[in-house]
Amino acid sequence: MYGIVNKSIEELVIDKFGEDKWELIKTRSELMLIILLATNL
C-alpha cells in the first residue's frame, strides 16, 4: 500500500507541475530528513 500511495502522489505532481518540481520535492525532502536526523542525535 505504501508504494501505491507514493507512486500516485508522484504521478499527480508530475502531471500537474512537471518532472522538475517532482525532483525538487525529492531533493528537499531528503534534506529535511538529514536535518531531522542530525538534530536528534
How do residues 2-29 score in pLDDT, each as one tens digit? Answer: 689 889 999 999 999 999 999 999 999 9
Tell which residue, 1, 3, 10, has the closest CA to residue 29. 10
* Alpha-carbon span 5 to 37, nearest angstrom: 24
Radius of gyration of the chain (CA): 13
* Alpha-carbon span 41 to 28, nearest angstrom: 20
Which pLDDT score is estimated for 18? 98
* Alpha-carbon span 9 to 16, nearest angstrom: 11
Which pLDDT score is estimated for 33? 83
This prediction has a pTM of 0.71
